[in-house]
Chains A and B, each alone.
Chain A
Amino acid sequence: MIPSHLASLEDGDPLDARLARAHGAVPERGGLGPALTSPHTRTLLLLPLGLALGPSGMNLLSPPVLSFIDPLVSVALAAIGVLLGLALDVRRAAATAAAAAAAVDAGLTVLIVGAGALLVHLLWLTPGDIPWFAAMVVAICAVPSLSPATGATEPHALRLVHVGDLNSILAILVGAGALAGHRAASLPDAALLTGSGALVALALAAAGWLLVVHPASDRERHAFVAGTLLLLAGAAAYLGQSALLMGLVAGVFWGEAGGPAGDRIARDVRYVQHPLVVLLLLVAGAHLTLGLDTLALAVVVFLCRSAAKLVSAAGFDQAAPALRGRVTSDELLAPGIVGLALAVNVLQTGGDHARVAVLLSAVAVGILATDLMLITLGRQGARR
């Protein structure tokens, strides 16, 4: 559900925790409670729920309501980016086997899914859709749930976390490039646009760092962190850029700037990430359109991605001897939220809404199918 590096940070809804501590307030939960707390079943529950509540269903999440909560979706995307950036150890990541492993996994997945999707592309898309197509491929290839069950203190577990980090970041970078490419007239323009956005994110991150490093109170710190997240998300939305990238840049800055600010921001973002992610899933669900083309694309996504991951698992032994025999294919198969987030980000930034909704739907259905497959195979225990 949540990327591996975020998984251990996922603390649940903040109000739930507060209420659970009230004297006798919350009895043993039954019914819906456990399903909502399990990251594994949450996708299976919330995406269809979003679909049922959305315009294709009961229309409670009608287009005006979706438009109203759109800023929150941007904030959710920025928050995911921030947490990824904070989790990334820039200086050490490259030195580990993780880089090689990530490259193998990402490379193989992109290659195989890309080949499969190309077939669909030739049949279905027009040349103008290529940036979207690229974004979709990258989104599908995000591998964010590499969280082994053996505990993150063991060296191979830490390396797996790095693989997850690097693959998610690769997805975000390529996705952001694709978005900029769609908006800009030329490649240099796209690079300039992305660079400008990253600089804005850096400036906002620096401001946030200055504000959070010595707050007068916890309440004030929460407000500053919320404000900075909103600024990052708002800047991305205003400029039509990737909120994930904006958040990622800020997260890397805070992680590398040192001092207590990074920890404080991570703690506060973690505090709100859970409801934001639930919201993201519901919104993604509400945007789903189920048609023949969606299902066709989803089948390609599912089959190609699964095949790619199985091949990747074998490739790990060669690329990363430190991980030899320790990565199972279901650890690689487990889908995560970064792919979905990227697809939602693409949807947010405009373009042909119907086409993008099909792309998002294909990603979502692919994720659901993978989750179902893992459950059916009884392998969820090996996941997070």
Chain B
Amino acid sequence: VRRLAAVALVVGAMLAIRQLAGAPSEAPGTALALGFVLVVALVTGDLLRRFHLPRLTGYLLFGLLVGPYLGNFITEPMARQLQAVNGIATTIIAFIAGLTLNLERLGRRVPGVVTMTLVTVGVAMAGLFAIAWVAWPALPVAPGAGGLAKAIMIALAVVVVVSFSPTMTAAVITETNARGRMSDLVLGLVVLADLIVLVLFSLLMQFARAELGEGGTAEASVLVRLAWEIGGAAAFGSLVGSLFGLYVRYVAREVTLVLLVVALLLSQVGVAQQFEPLIAAMAAGVVIANATTAQGDALKIAIQGAALPVLIVFFVGVGASLQLELLATAGFVAAGLCAVRMGLIRAGVTIGLKVSGTERMRGGLIWTGLISQAGITLGLASALAAEFPTWGAQVQTLLVALIAIDELIGPALFRIGLARAGEIDAHAERSLVVVSNREPYVHTYAADGHITCAPATGGVAVALDALMRERGGVWIAHGAGTADRALVDATDKLAVPPESPAYQLRRLWLAHDEFCAYYNGFANEGLWPLCHQVDVRPKFRSSDWAAYRAVNAQFAAAIDQELPSSDTPVFIQDYHLAVVTPYLRERRPAAATALFWHIPWPYPDRLRICPWRREILAGLLANDLLAFQVERDLRNFLRAVEEELGAEVEADGSSVRFDGRATMAIAVPIGVDYDRIQAVVRGAGLLGAQRALADRFALHAPIVGLGVDRLDYTKGIPERLEALDRVFTARPELRGQLTFVQVGVPSRSEIESYSAIEAEIDRMVAAVNGRHGVPGQPLPVHYHKGALDLTSLVAMYRLARFCVVSSLHDGMNLVAKEFVAARDDEDGVLVLSALAGAAQELDEALIINPYDISGFAEAILRAVDMPPAERRARMRAMRRVVAGRDVFSWATDILEGLESLWTRPLQYAARAPEDAPV
């Protein structure tokens, strides 16, 4: 209803605008027409999707309805102005298609594709020629013609009839976000086939001119012209692509504008020079994608993300240009021709598949991508009519009617084919199974006996919850709340979120002793210190390992119960569940699983401390996709699997082969829930929260520093306090002028190493305050032991002049990113440990080595003294990084990686300095 009301408003506004402007208006209408098309076509497409019709059919129909031939809502002048925009859209679509063509991947299949194309085109042309020869007297072309003239006419018409539409093919692939062998094959096939068609058409035209008495140029000149059109276009496109690639690599500024200029160049300059713009644009895309891999990937992702408006404009433009009146005159013959063409193409593909010996799997659907026809066919038909006005015009009429039919059914048919081949993003709608130790909603009994529900507040949990709300499915986790059992059904499930249930939470019950051994023991006394390079000895007990395996097996059994089908993605979280997948594979060998390892991965020598490292490595390699925070961890992991398991690591480090299966390994840095933090920043309660905190923590000092950590020995809190001690010693005038707020959230206190660090921090805070505190002045260190809610946390971030993250070793550290996200005032300095993963992304922080106390203290003093302009410049640069990569894109990237395993792994990783510790 909301959308229909919006459309009604837009239509009303359009009518009012036309009324106000006075009709007929030649006023500039491009932007207006584009806006109208975008908004209304999108709603129309979405509406049709509810009736199980493809969106792009909706766009086409919308174009048809509002175009000059029917509704005339887009007036003739507007349509003319839109034509130029459509040229750019076509170029961008071809450019995107080029970006998706991986020559390395296609390379092995080129001979097969060539054979298939030749056979398909050959069969279709031969079949059509034979049928046309027989049916010639009945066709409304030149019934009286015979002999060689008849053969030439038929041959020319057949070549045009068989031609395809690479633009439409690329547009459908882009619109559906299709990825797979069929998409690649069809795109390669139509491009190649149309090159063959262009060559054949030119040669036949030359022959026809001579034989049909209209004269012509020498054959050599035709070939030269063809070479110029095709070869020149490819060369021009390659040149433009190379220059663009160099620009992206070495300048990388204003890329959007430069991309538009490139599109303009390819579409306008190319046409002016008689280049085939489609080939030029595709060549440019291919060069960038294959010569500059990282830029090509990033550019493809970025452009595809914004491609929807381009596609809508393209499809609506196609719909608006359909000449329906021709269907009335030549509709029946065209429909028959369409059916024959379709049948012959299908036969050609079937034979081609057999002859080429490739792509047997789902190859039967390839023909669906070869039905669309558009610009090239229209161009050839026009050339025919212009050259041979008598019979050529008749053929043109028939062909335009044929194009109208093929444009309407071709894209829809191809979409169906892609869907059946499992290559379109219908999987984005598919449900998901998330597995984690901690549950997203914990139910506990309050003191008065009521049940309260607490949602998890961590960034990862919030992101995964949002993802699950969108996609639905099951989240499997350990039920740790006191009231958790009271709310589940007989299958241990309940619908969450409580306010608007969107997915199922399956709770797993673990015996107390077993949980202690699995979680506190193996996971947190063994794996955690193993993976973090700190002076705490990992403790590995065989009883803990047994419990760990048993719990992982229970999780695997639960996944098996909840997994609706093996292609439903399973997203496993963290080091608690390293060996879930082998157990799952025993039950579901084909399950699609991804595991994200949130903490660092140790270097191979340290890994050898773990007696069961090989089982853990093999367990992780049972996943289809394995993701780490940063390249450093990925590198360590790859070295470990090579050394410990003798696994085969691909040269580019993207894939590991072990035990007969391949695992994609990638680095995908996690982000924060940026939008949520922005909402708090803009919320009405923030100023109040800041005031409340200032009162509560007695923050009267003009300079406030901040540290927010779990009380964990990996966080470097004692080192931080030591550095602060050094600061106050070196600059006594800061006493009373600087208060450092340390927020420490107690964690895993039942483990000895954790209780020890808590005690040490208590002692050190007291010592610093005792040494540097001035009576009546603000404390040097204010220690708040306990968690803060999100609003208070953001308020605290905003009160701080600087924030310190001094981890001795950390996978990522989201506090660093949260601090940056909270500072939309672009003020504040981040002092960040080089040993935290975040340091590989946030270059503009003051990077410290927490073991170098003098350097650490100097960095704090630099943060205190930093001029506002420098603070602003640094914060601004960091905000770009943090805003651009939030926790939702992190989750989406991993799932997309899992769902497109056949593709080259996406390279999202942050930079990993060569001297980064391993």
A residues sitting closer than 8 Å to B (CB atoms) are 8, 11-27, 29, 31-33, 36-37, 65, 68, 70-71, 74-75, 149-153, 193, 196-197, 199-200, 203-204, 206-208, 210-211, 213-214, 216, 218-220, 222-224, 226-235, 237-240, 260, 263, 272, 274-275, 278-279, 381
Contact = CB atoms under 8 A, between A and B. Distances in A.
From B30, B312, B798, B884, residue with most partner A Cβ within 10 Å: B30
Contacts of B885: 21
Given A21-B884, A210-B3, A13 B255 contact: yes
A29 to B, nearest CB: 7
Nearest to A32: B251
Contacts of A196: 16, 20
Contacts of B631: 23
Contact of B2 (A150, A214, A223, A229): A214
Nearest to B81: A71
Contact of A149 (B295, B868, B907, B908): B868
Contacts of A20: 252, 880-881
A272 B2 CA distance: 26
Interface in B292-306: 292, 294-295, 297-299, 301-303, 305-306
Contact of B301 (A18, A197, A260): A18
A279 B256 CA distance: 10
Nearest to A34: B253
A210 B254 contact: no
A204 B257 contact: no
A240 B27 contact: yes
Contacts of B110: none
A24 B630 CA distance: 13
A143 B635 CA distance: 53
Contact of B298 (A18, A153, A222): A18
B254 A207 contact: no
Contact of B21 (A13, A203, A239): A239
Contact of A25 (B13, B20, B39, B298): B298
B196 interface: no
Given A18-B298, A19-B295, A231-B10, 15 more contacts: A8-B826, A18-B299, A22-B907, A200-B16, A200-B20, A203-B13, A210-B2, A211-B3, A213-B2, A222-B306, A223-B308, A263-B678, A272-B256, A278-B254, A381-B869
B259 A15 contact: yes
Interface in B103-134: none
Contacts of A19: 248, 252, 255, 295, 298-299, 302
B689 interface: no
A31 B257 contact: no
B299 A21 contact: no
B38 interface: yes
Contacts of A71: 28, 30-31, 34
B2 A227 contact: no
A237 B306 contact: no
6 contacts: A15-B256, A32-B253, A75-B31, A227-B37, A231-B31, A233-B31
A223 B309 contact: yes
B13 A149 contact: no
A196 B306 CA distance: 33
B387 to A, nearest CB: 30
Interface in B691-707: none
Given A22-B297, A224-B42, A234 B32 contact: yes
Residue from B12, B20, B682 whose CB has the most chain A CB atoms within 10 Å: B20
B794 to A, nearest CB: 13
B916 interface: no
Contacts of B38: 223-224, 226-227, 230
A204 B292 CA distance: 42
B302 A18 contact: yes
B537 interface: no
Contacts, number: 240
Nearest to A219: B308
B12 A203 contact: yes
Given A71-B30, A211-B3, A231 B39 contact: yes
A279 to B, nearest CB: 6
B452 interface: no
B317 to A, nearest CB: 15
A207 B39 contact: yes
Interface string B28-55: 1111111111110011001000000000
B31 to A, nearest CB: 3
A211 B32 CA distance: 17
Closest 9 CB pairs of A and B: A234-B32, A230-B35, A227-B38, A231-B35, A234-B31, A22-B298, A15-B255, A227-B39, A71-B31
B918 interface: no
Nearest to A15: B255
Contacts of A210: 2-3, 5-6, 9
Nearest to A192: B20
Interface in B236-281: 248-257, 259, 264
Contacts of B884: 17-18, 21
Given A210-B9, A240-B27, A275-B256, A234 B826 contact: no
A227 B35 contact: yes
Nearest to A11: B880
Contact of B872 (A11, A26, A149): A149
A278 B261 CA distance: 13
Nearest to B19: A196
Contact of B249 (A26, A233, A239): A26
B254 A23 contact: no
A228 B39 contact: yes
Given A24-B911, A214-B2, A227 B251 contact: no
B84 interface: yes
Nearest to B28: A237
B543 interface: no
B204 interface: no
Contacts of A222: 305-306, 308-309
B825 A203 contact: no
A275 B37 CA distance: 23
B10 A204 contact: yes
B79 to A, nearest CB: 14
A20 B34 CA distance: 31
Contacts of A200: 13, 16-17, 20
Contact of A211 (B6, B30, B251): B6
